[in-house]
Amino acid sequence: MISSKCLKSFMTAVLVVLSIAVSAAALAQRGSDFALYDQHGVFHQISRYNESEAVVLFVYDSNDKASAEALPLLQDLRERYRDESVVFFLLDANQQDTRDSVLAQNVDIPVLLDSAQVVARTLAVVTTAESFILDPDSHRILYRGPLDSRIAVPDADPAMPIPYLESALKAVLADVDDEAPAVPAVAGTPIKYEYKERFGDRQISYQDEVVPILRRRCTTCHIEDGLAPWAMVSHRMMQGWSPMVREVLITRRMPPGQIDTQIGEWDDIHDISDEELTTLVHWIDGGARREGDADPLTELEPVDPAWKLGEPDLIVEVPEEAIPATGIVDFKIKRVALDLNEDKWISAVAYNVGDRTVLHSLLVHALDPTVPAADLAAQVDADNAEFISLYVPGRTEEVFAEDAGFLLQADRDLSLKLRYVSSGRETVDRTRIGLYFRDTAPEYAIRNVITLNEDFTIAAGVDNHVETAQTPAFEHDVYIESFAPQTHTRGKSMTISALFPDGREQVLLNVGNYNFNWQMNYRLTERLALPAGSRLVSTTVFDNSPANPHNVDPEAEVKVGITTWDEIFSHHVRVLEKR
Ligand code: HEC
């Protein structure tokens, strides 16, 4: 058997060769998968349209004459090809354009906002009004050129309009493989690439610019014996992986669990800024080179000390779990008796993870002790089990606000819901949970409210199944602190909004690209006050089609349940209530 280390170095060698073969120019020819948010906060990834025949992309700018003239033609085309399974997008790489400025234009085609300009760069876009046909399956560029001779094509005869894009689309739909006819160049408004002005021709510094970003955004997981399948331990390793790194960055797969950061201000989330993203992509496109001999990535990271917060007041041993080398591991539900002799206020929870390569999430609840041991579902049901804390990779401590605590009643057990992924080798996980208690009662009690929907069925193959749920109205003024949305493999996106007593609605969280593998807890930088009478409403979109890469069975009709093959909709919201 090949050891996983050996396999890793083999992969690295293969990737070093690959990285030499893939240049930015080649990408512009070949295309690439990518993902962006539109003006409504909906996340679109090209490969998620792989059930469609083609994706049409038009380079748009809300201040541009050619764009304005093109809109009616595009809308008409979209109408006529509605039944042909063609998806239409506008690509907006003008950094002055925002969701609001685009919304004000009332365009009904989704406008993909490329504020980091990495998608425009990948497609080597030169001017507005360029149009593309992409194959959502292979990501290949099937057509690049004008929309129509009336739009940004100099010297065209206005009496004889030529529908270039539509002709190309017809050929694509008819599967005609002939050499594409030559088309004139598009002369719209040149795209102003902000980073080109800033970086000029200089090489991005590996040591001063790239490594600090990797440390901030990636190496909590990409270290030796970390959760990620490869470790960022040297420049050579990074260079080898760089084509793949480029892809996971522009599809927003990494860092994992990203949310829409245009909504709300967040603490300690997995995120990457436009600035960091362009720097990494620019560095990769320049050959992922390093200046000088020093390599800060080879310097050993300090090993995470266990119990960074100090020795816990109570250490809870999670019953050990043997994880097979391969295959899907179903959720594990476990119960631990605590035998406390008095009520305790929890101030923090820490995790001493047994095997970081397999444990993906761990939910901790306070469980009503009368729940029978044989009834697994009841042990994680919100009626009996109140959510306390959540471990996700890279987040080994959760410290509650100084003036708040979770009241753990003396009679409670803990119920745990664990999600494991197999890592290529058999292992046994022995994780420990550390509880820290307050000496005095806090000003605010942490409560967990839940927007829960337990009664729905998703038909086989449906890609946009929408469900909503809401909390009862709050009886007192409260503060909202964090959100932990949970679905299983069909979850695609979700939002949580506050509905105020005066009827106003405010979106608080938008997880546009929900990923079942990353069940995170999103914590607001500043707690949000909600007056009595407010409620929380959440909307979840499920994708039970084959286009959903996480879907365990697109052929199945799905009902609510506790296994990976069933679905859930339970969004935990942490609320602080004055005592
Ligand atoms: C919270 C942990 C975590 C962080 C932070 C993280 N990764 Fe990952 N990464 C993973 C895991 C786990 C995988 C394995 C695939 C998966 O789970 O999606 C992975 C896989 C990858 C892969 C391989 C993709 C493939 O298809 O095999 C690349 C490349 C990558 N990460 C790059 C990055 C970069 C670049 C960053 C920082 C900008 C980053 N990761 C941050 C956990 C992480």
Q: What is the pLDDT of residues 324-341, one digit of tens each?
A: 999 988 889 999 999 999
pLDDT at 43: 98
Predicted confidence (pLDDT) at residue 136 exceeds the cutoff of 60: yes
pTM: predicted TM-score of the whole model, two decimal places: 0.90
For domain 306-442, give the CATH number: 2.60.120.230
Nearest to 358 by CA among 225, 488, 269: 225
Predicted confidence (pLDDT) at residue 349 exceeds the cutoff of 60: yes
pLDDT at 359: 92
Confidence of residue 300 (pLDDT cuts 50, 70, 90): low
Do 470 and 478 contact (CB within 8 A), yes or no? no
CATH 3.40.30.10 segments of the chain: 31-192
Task: Give the mutation target among 118, 206, 218 for probing the ligand 1 site: most ligand atoms within 8 A of CB.
Answer: 218
Confidence of residue 197 (pLDDT cuts 50, 70, 90): confident
> 190-204, 451-465, 503-517 — which is least confidently predicted?
190-204
Q: Which is higher by pLDDT, 568 or 20?
A: 568
Distance CA 379, CA 386 (A): 10
Query: CATH number of 444-579: 2.60.120.230, 2.40.390.10, 3.40.50.1950, 2.60.120.380?
Result: 2.60.120.230
Do 401 and 577 contact (CB within 8 A), yes or no? no
Q: Give the pair of three-digit tokens for residue 119.
A: 């998608």
pLDDT at 466: 97
Distance CA 140, CA 120 (A): 15
Mean pLDDT of 149-158: 93
Please provide the average confidence, as pLDDT, over all residues in the chain. Answer: 91
Ligand 1 centroid – CA 208 distance (Å): 22
pLDDT at 28: 62
Across 100-109, 352-361, 503-512, which has the greatest mean pLDDT?
A: 503-512
Ligand 1 centroid – CA 500 distance (Å): 39
Q: Whose CA is nearest to atom 25 of ligand 1?
A: 244
Do 197 and 95 contact (CB within 8 A), yes or no? no
Rounded (10°) CA dihedral 204, 210, 212, 213:
120
Q: What atom of ligand 1 comes closest to residue 249's alpha carbon?
A: 35
Distance CA 151, CA 244 (A): 36
Do 484 and 571 contact (CB within 8 A), yes or no? yes
CATH 2.60.120.230 segments of the chain: 306-442, 444-579
pLDDT over 70 percentage in the chain = 94
pLDDT at 85: 92
Q: Give the pair of three-digit tokens for residue 468.
A: 């909503």
Q: Give the pair of three-digit tokens for residue 401.
A: 């606000």
Ligand 1 centroid – CA 231 distance (Å): 10
pLDDT at 510: 97
Ligand 1 centroid – CA 228 distance (Å): 6
pLDDT, one tens digit per residue, over 510-556 is 999 999 888 888 999 999 999 999 999 999 999 999 999 999 999 99
Q: Pocket around ligand 1: residues whose beta carbon is below 6 Å from it?
A: 217-218, 220-222, 227-229, 241, 244-245, 248, 254-256, 270, 272, 393-394, 517
Could you please state the CATH topology (level 3) that the domain comprising 31-192 is classified under.
Answer: Glutaredoxin (3.40.30)
Nearest to 243 by CA among 415, 20, 406, 50: 20
Q: Whose CA is nearest to atom 29 of ligand 1?
A: 245
* Spatial CB neighbours of 258, under 8 Å, sequence gap ≥ 6: 252, 269, 270, 271, 272, 513
Q: Exposed e or buried b for every residue in 257-282, given b needs 16+ CB within 10 A?
A: bbbbeebbebeebbebebebbbbbbb
pLDDT at 176: 83
pLDDT, one tens digit per residue, over 463-505 is 999 999 999 999 999 999 999 998 999 999 999 999 999 999 9
Distance CA 160, CA 174 (A): 25
Ligand 1 centroid – CA 375 distance (Å): 36
pLDDT at 12: 45
pLDDT at 14: 44
pLDDT at 398: 93
